[in-house]
Structure 1
Amino acid sequence: MKPKTMALWLFAVIIGIGFCGTAVLFYVIPSLASSVCREFPEFANAFWPWMIFLWISALPCYAVLCCGGAIAAAIGKENAFSHQNARRLLTIAHLAAADTVFFFAGNVVLFLLSMSHPSVFLAAMGICFAGICVIIVARTLAYFTQKAAVLHEDAALTI
């Protein structure tokens, strides 16, 4: 596959993820939460704190999508293994780390304020585990991209 074709596919996937995430954040989750509030009125006071918490925790995810778009653009220009892409991958790892810590802390706070159910808390720990996986993968890719960029520079200097 040519780099420009790969970049277009990556852009399409990134835009699709952005639209799906927006639909989940602003339609699916509020619909499910309001049905839970109708079914269990004792959780009605937790609707808005949870919605605001989830919307705030989604902001770094959209920043990661922007970094992914920049990486896709670099791939389209046949510049996949560059120091800039390594920095972007490190940025993705840092955003994922900050979001995972925020998501964990927010879940603990909402649980301690009796605004969460234990099963929701356990499911949120699964999301935190996924965040840790993203951190590890992004850091590993940043390391290898940095090494490849150095090798690429060395090869360019060799006659």
Structure 2
Amino acid sequence: MKHKELAKWLKIIIVFCWVFGLLFCVYIGPETGKNILVDSNFLKVLYKPFIAFIWITGIPYFYALCIGWSICSDINVGNDFTLKNAKRLKRISVLAMTEGVLYVIALLYVFISGNYNTNLLMVLLLILFFAVVISVFTSLLSYLMGKASEIKQDNELTI
């Protein structure tokens, strides 16, 4: 696959992630919260904080997608293995870990308050799992991208 075609497909995937993220923040998150929290008299007070939490956690998600878009733009022009892209991947890793920390705080709050529901715990743990996996893999990719950039620079200097 050529780098222009790869960049095009990655940008299409990023657009789908944007659409899914907006759909999640605007419709799926509130509806899930309504089904899980509002139906229970015990958990009803958590609905508005839950919605605010969903919107707050959307900020690092959408910022990471913007960074991913800029990486795809660099791939499109042939600047695949650069230190700038390695730093961008590291930033995405930090953003994913920020998401993970936010969801750990949410889990701690749910456990401390005693207002937990199995469905709520499953959703929080699933998102936490994905945040940690994304953070680990983007950190690994960042390291490999940095090493590839060093090798590329050494090869360009070799006569």
The answer to whether TM tops 0.5 is yes
Q: What is the match of residue 156 of structure 1?
A: 156
- 1:95 matched to which residue of 2? 95
User: TM-score, normalized by length of structure 2?
Assistant: 0.91
Aligned to 1:30: 30
Which consecutive residues of structure 2, in runs of 5 or more, have no partner in the other structure?
A: none
Letter in 2 for 1:129: F
Task: State the alpha-carbon separation in 1 of the partners of residues 125 and 51 from structure 2.
Answer: 18
State the 1:113 CA deviation: 2.6
Give the secondary-structure state (helix, strand or coil) at the position aligned to 2:42. Answer: helix
- The one-letter amino acid of 2:35's match is S
Question: Percent same amino acid at aligned positions?
Answer: 26
Give 1:1-159 correspondences, 5 Å limit: 1-159=1-159
* Count of aligned pairs between the two proteins: 159
Please give the secondary structure, in 1, of the residue aligned with 2:106.
helix
Structure 1: gaps (5+ residues): none
Q: Could you say what the CA RMSD is over the residues aligned between the two structures, in angstroms?
A: 1.7
Say whether the 8 Å CA contact 1:74–1:80 is kept in structure 2.
yes
1:14 Cα deviation after fit: 0.2
CA drift of 1:116 comes to: 3.3
- Following superposition, the deviation at residue 106 of structure 1 comes to 2.2
Superposed displacement of residue 31, structure 1: 1.8
Give 1:41 shift. 2.8
